């Protein structure tokens, strides 16, 4: 065996280690590590309310979402029954309007806050965080407003 | 050399016991250790060490044997060797444990035993990580008695029940096994992490302390208790058997009941 191929723990360049005592390799630092410069408390209850909201909206969503799925997909012939007439018939009643409105708002805010948590967990750079959250909030506001508009302005006689 | 390892090795004649002998306590165990040395390479790599060892010995004894007899460059922290200083938390067979409290027989010695540094902190060499961010979070929850008014002339007395309230969280040895097992901490080191919350709990629920409100305020922030996702990794990891997730949950409850 030649000397070049047998030396242990060598770097990639021609059998000579790239690193030594005076020139150590870079270590891999964990994302966003805490230092003494980490900002101190902001004194708001936002995260507390967010946490509570996830649990409270979750409880209500169990009823709303499971009920919704049952009515739309299981009872009365399943999906095949859903059409313009079915939707028009249901939204004629304020009860189902309220059901769908509450479900829309709760599910969207619940899902958006959940994704905010996911972004906080996984986005490492402040810029990435900023843009992902912007995208998330824009999409959420758009969907919530559009859905609300449709529920309130739905016209069964449109043709 | 106070370790019992060496005495036993002498008695039975070093290296002599054969694997087939039923009366020999020694078995052959492979330790697969994740090595990193920035002075040699930027890549970490697994290295296997084989040794004859009594399975009633601990993983720390095996690391000592390797360092003393096979490869002196193997680097790890340990001090007390009896589960009290908290310096030798490491990831053994994928689980955070103290090497000095883990018996080899308890972790299936018939397969290679993997040993690596705890996760979520910068690896400096082999099994040694940079603990600064961990202790920074500890400092940030003010882990000391805070009182108002004049100092009393005698001991601050406390009933047995009041002492019992935070007994569990007094047991922490700051080994970082919990914090470095937490997936939220792995992804975002800004999270205070379980150990800091445990040590805040220690004072928040101490009847003699008057800084609880301040500590609750600190943990109410975006990097505080609300980031906990109740995965229970911390409770599983704690070598002191502290119910870490429960302590975090109690701090959450204190924050909510304080408001309503
Ligand atoms: C069916 C009833 C539901 C219940 C009981 C429920 C409950 C919860 C709870 C308690 C959390 C917080 C978990 C934590 O903090 O560790 C959560 C997170 C989340 N939820 Fe829901 N939820 C429900 C429906 C939904 C729906 C319909 C959506 C989508 C619109 C959704 C999307 C999310 C997301 C994205 C998260 C964050 C995931 C994470 O933290 O890893 N959930 N849910
Ligand atoms: S709570 Fe347990 S695992 Fe966490 S630092 Fe303290 S002793 Fe170690
Ligand atoms: S060496 Fe002190 S806790 Fe293990």
Instruction: Determine, for residues A27 and B124 on separate chains, whether the beta-carbon distance falls below 8 Å.
Output: yes
Residue B1: what pLDDT?
A: 41
Residue B146: what pLDDT?
A: 96
- A28 in a domain, yes or no? no
Residue B64: what pLDDT?
A: 97
- A85 in a domain, yes or no? yes
Collect all residues of chain A within an 8 Å Cβ-Cβ radius of residue B224: 47
The CA distance from A86 to A6, in Å, is 77
Residue B6: what pLDDT?
A: 43
The CA distance from A121 to B59, in Å, is 34
- Work out the percent of chain A whose per-residue pLDDT is above 70: 89
Give, in order, the Cα–Cα distances in Å from B96 to each of B114, B116, B127, B189: 11, 9, 12, 18
Q: Where are the domains of chain B?
A: 27-129, 132-145+165-257
Quick: pLDDT tens for A22-81: 888 888 888 888 888 777 777 789 999 999 999 999 999 999 999 999 988 888 778 888
pLDDT > 50? residue A133: yes
Collect all residues of chain B within an 8 Å Cβ-Cβ radius of residue A48: 220, 226, 255-256, 259
Query: From ligand 1's centre to the CA of B184, what distance in Å?
Result: 17
Residue whose CA is at the smallest distance from ligand 1 atom 40: A114
In this complex, which of A19, A38, A51 lies closest to B39 when CB atoms are compared?
A19
In which domain, by residue range, is A143 found?
46-153
Residue A15: what pLDDT?
A: 61
What total number of domains does chain A contain?
A: 1
- A111 in a domain, yes or no? yes
**Architecture (CATH level 2) of domain B132-145+165-257:** Orthogonal Bundle (1.10)
**pLDDT, tens digit only, all 260 positions of chain B:** 444 444 444 444 455 555 555 678 899 999 999 999 999 999 999 999 999 999 999 999 999 999 999 999 999 999 999 999 999 999 999 999 999 999 999 999 999 999 999 999 999 999 999 999 999 999 999 999 999 988 899 999 999 999 999 999 999 999 999 999 999 999 999 999 999 999 999 999 999 999 999 999 999 998 999 999 999 999 999 999 999 999 999 999 999 998 76
- A25 in a domain, yes or no? no
User: If one looks up domain B27-129 in CATH, what number appears?
Assistant: 3.10.20.30
CATH of the domain at A109: 1.20.1300.10
Atom number in ligand 2 closest to CA B171: 7
- A12 in a domain, yes or no? no
Tell me which ligand sits closest to the C-alpha of residue B196.
2
């Amino acid at each position: 065996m030649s000397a070049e191929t047998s030396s242990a723990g060598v770097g990639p360049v021609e059998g000579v280690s790239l690193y030594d005592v005076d020139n150590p390799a870079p270590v891999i630092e964990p994302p966003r590590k805490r230092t003494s410069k980490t900002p101190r408390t902001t004194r708001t209850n936002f995260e507390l309310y967010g946490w509570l909201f996830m649990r409270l909206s979750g409880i209500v969503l169990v009823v709303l979402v499971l009920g919704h799925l049952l009515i739309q997909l299981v009872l009365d012939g399943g999906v095949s029954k859903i059409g313009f007439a079915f939707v028009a018939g249901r939204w004629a009643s304020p009860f189902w309007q309220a059901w769908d409105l509450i479900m829309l708002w709760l599910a969207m805010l619940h899902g958006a806050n959940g994704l905010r948590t996911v972004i906080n967990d996984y986005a490492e750079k402040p810029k990435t965080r900023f843009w992902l959250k912007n995208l998330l909030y824009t999409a959420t506001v758009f969907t919530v407003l559009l859905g609300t508009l449709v529920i309130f302005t739905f016209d069964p006689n449109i043709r | 050399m106070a370790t019992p390892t060496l005495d036993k090795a002498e008695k039975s004649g070093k290296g002599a016991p054969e694997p087939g002998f039923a009366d020999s306590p020694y078995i052959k165990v492979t330790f697969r250790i994740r090595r990193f040395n920035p002075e040699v390479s930027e890549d970490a790599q697994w290295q296997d060490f084989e040794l004859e060892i009594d399975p009633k010995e601990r993983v720390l004894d095996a690391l000592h044997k390797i360092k003393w007899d096979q490869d002196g460059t193997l680097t790890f922290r340990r001090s007390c060797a009896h589960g009290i200083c908290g310096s030798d938390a490491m990831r053994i067979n994928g689980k955070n444990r103290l090497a000095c409290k883990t018996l080899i027989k308890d972790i299936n010695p018939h397969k290679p035993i993997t040993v690596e540094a705890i996760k979520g902190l910068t690896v400096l060499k082999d099994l040694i990580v940079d603990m600064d961010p961990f202790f920074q979070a500890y400092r940030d929850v003010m882990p000391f008695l805070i009182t108002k008014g004049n100092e009393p002339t005698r001991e601050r007395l406390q009933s047995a029940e009041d002492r019992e309230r935070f007994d569990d969280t007094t047991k922490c040895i700051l080994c970082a096994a919990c914090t470095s097992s937490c997936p939220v901490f792995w992804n975002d080191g800004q999270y205070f992490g379980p150990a800091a919350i445990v040590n805040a709990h220690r004072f928040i629920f101490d009847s003699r302390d008057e800084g609880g409100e301040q500590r609750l305020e600190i943990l109410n922030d975006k990097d505080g208790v609300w980031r906990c996702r109740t995965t229970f990794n911390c409770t599983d990891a704690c070598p002191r058997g502290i119910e870490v997730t429960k302590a975090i949950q109690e701090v959450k409850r204190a924050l909510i009941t304080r408001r309503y």
